[in-house]
Structure 1
Amino acid sequence: MTTARRRGRLAGVLIATAALTVAGLGSPAAAQQNDIPDVDEVVHSHNLHPVAHLDKEGPFAGQSAFNTDIAFTRGHAIVGNYDGFTIYDVRKPKKPKVVSQVLCPGGQNDVSVSGDLLFLSTDYARTNDSCVSEPAQASDPNSWEGIKVFDISDLSNPTYVASVRTDCGSHTHTMVPAPERNSVLLYVSSYSPAPELPNCQPPHDKVSIVEVPLDHPEDAELVATPVLFPDGGNPGDGYSSKTTGCHDLTAYPEKDLMAGACMGDGILIDISDRMNPRVIDRVQDNTNFAFWHSATFNNEGTKVVFTDELGGGGMPTCNAEIGPERGANGIYDIKGTGDRAHLEFRSYYKIPRHQADTENCVAHNGSLIPVKGRDIMVQAWYQGGVSVWEFTDSDRPKEIAYFERGPLSDTENITGGSWSAYYYNGYIYSSDIQKGFDVLDVRDPRTAPAKSVKFDEFNAQTQPSYGRR
Structure 2
Amino acid sequence: MRKRLLLLFALVVAVGGSVAGAEALTGDELDPARNLALPCEAVSTPGLVPRSAKNIAHVANVCGFVGTDVEFQSRKAADGTVHDYAFVGSMGAGLRIFDITDPAHPVAAGAYTDPGWEVDVQVRADTAAIAFDPVIVGINVSACLRQKSGSTTKGGIDILRLDFDPGTARFSPSLADCYLNTGSGGAHNVTMHPSGSWLAIDTSTSGIEVVDLRGPTAVFNRKLPVSLVGSVHDVSFSADGNTMYAASPGQGTYVVDVTNILADGARQIAFIPNNTQPGGSANPKNTTISHQADVSSDGAILGFTDERGGGLTQTSCNTDPSGVIGGIHWWALQPMRGLGQTADASPATPRRLGSWFYPNPGLGLDPLAPALASIGRSERACTIHIFRNGGTGSVSPGPIAAGFDGVSQLGQRELVVAHYGAGVWQLDFSGPPSSADGIAEDPRSDWGNTLGWNVMPGAETWSAKEYKGYVYTGDMGRGFDVYALTSCAGAACLVRPTNTPGRAKGGGGVEGELAEISILSGPSKGGKATFSLDVSYVAGQTAPAGKLGFHDKAADKKVTATGVDSLTIAGAKASITGRATVDGVPGVS
TM-score, normalised to structure 2's length?
0.56
Matched, 1:254 2:271: no
Contact 2:389 2:410 survives alignment (8 Å):
no
Pick from 45, 49, 55 the counterpart of residue 57 of structure 2: 49
Task: Give 2:67's aligned residue.
Answer: 67
Distance 1:71 1:338, change over 3 A: same
Matched, 1:400 2:451: yes
5 Å-filtered alignment, 1:55-454, equals 55-56=63-64, 60=65, 66-74=66-74, 75-83=84-92, 84-124=94-134, 130-131=143-144, 133=146, 144-154=154-164, 155-166=170-181, 167=183, 168-178=185-195, 183-192=196-205, 204=206, 206-213=207-214, 218-230=216-228, 245-254=231-240, 256-264=242-250, 265-275=252-262, 276-282=265-271, 283-285=273-275, 286-287=280-281, 288=284, 289-314=287-312, 315-316=314-315, 318-321=317-320, 323=322, 326-335=325-334, 336=344, 340-354=348-362, 358-370=379-391, 375-393=413-431, 395-406=446-457, 408=458, 417-443=460-486
Contact 2:144 2:178 survives alignment (8 Å):
no
User: What does the per-residue CA deviation read over 1:9-35, in whole Å, with 9 as the maximum and x for residues that have no partner?
Assistant: 99x979xxxxxxxxxxxxxxxxxxxxx
Task: Give 1:448's aligned residue.
Answer: none
User: What does the per-residue CA deviation read over 1:66-87, in whole Å, with 9 as the maximum and x for residues that have no partner?
Assistant: 3211111221111111222211
User: What does the per-residue CA deviation read over 1:88-120, in whole Å, with 9 as the maximum and x for residues that have no partner?
Assistant: 111111111122332223333411011111111
User: What does the per-residue CA deviation read over 1:311-365, in whole Å, with 9 as the maximum and x for residues that have no partner?
Assistant: 3345335424364753222222225466733242522332432458954210111
Which blocks of at least 5 consecutive residues in structure 2 are unaligned? 1-22, 33-46, 75-83, 165-169, 335-343, 366-377, 392-408, 433-445, 489-589
Identity %, equivalent residues: 21
Task: Tell me how large the CA RMSD over aligned residues is.
Answer: 3.5
| Secondary structure at 1:311 match in 2 | coil
Contact 2:463 2:473 survives alignment (8 Å):
yes
Give the whole-Å Cα distance in 2 for the aligned partners of 1:405 and 1:212. Answer: 40
User: What does the per-residue CA deviation read over 1:161-188, in whole Å, with 9 as the maximum and x for residues that have no partner?
Assistant: 101111323110111122xxxx432111
Contact 2:59 2:104 survives alignment (8 Å):
yes
Give the whole-Å Cα distance in 2 for the aligned partners of 1:294 and 1:322. Answer: 25
| Secondary structure at 1:229 match in 2 | helix
Give the whole-Å Cα distance in 1 for the aligned partners of 2:139 and 2:462. Answer: 24
CA drift of 1:267 comes to: 1.6
CA drift of 1:246 comes to: 0.8
What amino acid is aligned across from residue 366 of structure 1 in structure 2?
F
Give the whole-Å Cα distance in 2 for the aligned partners of 1:108 and 1:373. Answer: 30
CA drift of 1:8 comes to: 10
Distance 1:313 1:108, change over 3 A: farther
Distance 1:172 1:423, change over 3 A: same
What amino acid is aligned across from residue 222 of structure 1 in structure 2?
F
Contact 1:422 1:429 survives alignment (8 Å):
yes
CA drift of 1:303 comes to: 1.4
CA drift of 1:49 comes to: 1.4
Give the whole-Å Cα distance in 2 for the aligned partners of 1:380 and 1:142. Answer: 29
What amino acid is aligned across from residue 418 of structure 2 in structure 1?
A
- Matched residues, number: 366
CA drift of 1:271 comes to: 2.4
Q: Whose radius of gyration is greater, 1 or 2?
A: 2
Contact 2:424 2:453 survives alignment (8 Å):
yes
What amino acid is aligned across from residue 68 of structure 2 in structure 1?
T
Distance 1:369 1:338, change over 3 A: closer
TM-score, normalised to structure 1's length?
0.69
CA drift of 1:434 comes to: 1.1
Contact 1:6 1:123 survives alignment (8 Å):
no
Give the whole-Å Cα distance in 1 for the aligned partners of 2:259 and 2:351. Answer: 19
Give the whole-Å Cα distance in 2 for the aligned partners of 1:7 and 1:343. Answer: 43
Distance 1:321 1:118, change over 3 A: same
Distance 1:391 1:128, change over 3 A: closer
Distance 1:261 1:82, change over 3 A: same
Distance 1:229 1:362, change over 3 A: same
Which blocks of at least 5 consecutive residues in structure 1 are unaligned? 15-38, 61-65, 193-203, 234-242, 409-415, 446-469
Contact 1:126 1:135 survives alignment (8 Å):
no
CA drift of 1:302 comes to: 1.7
Distance 1:317 1:309, change over 3 A: farther
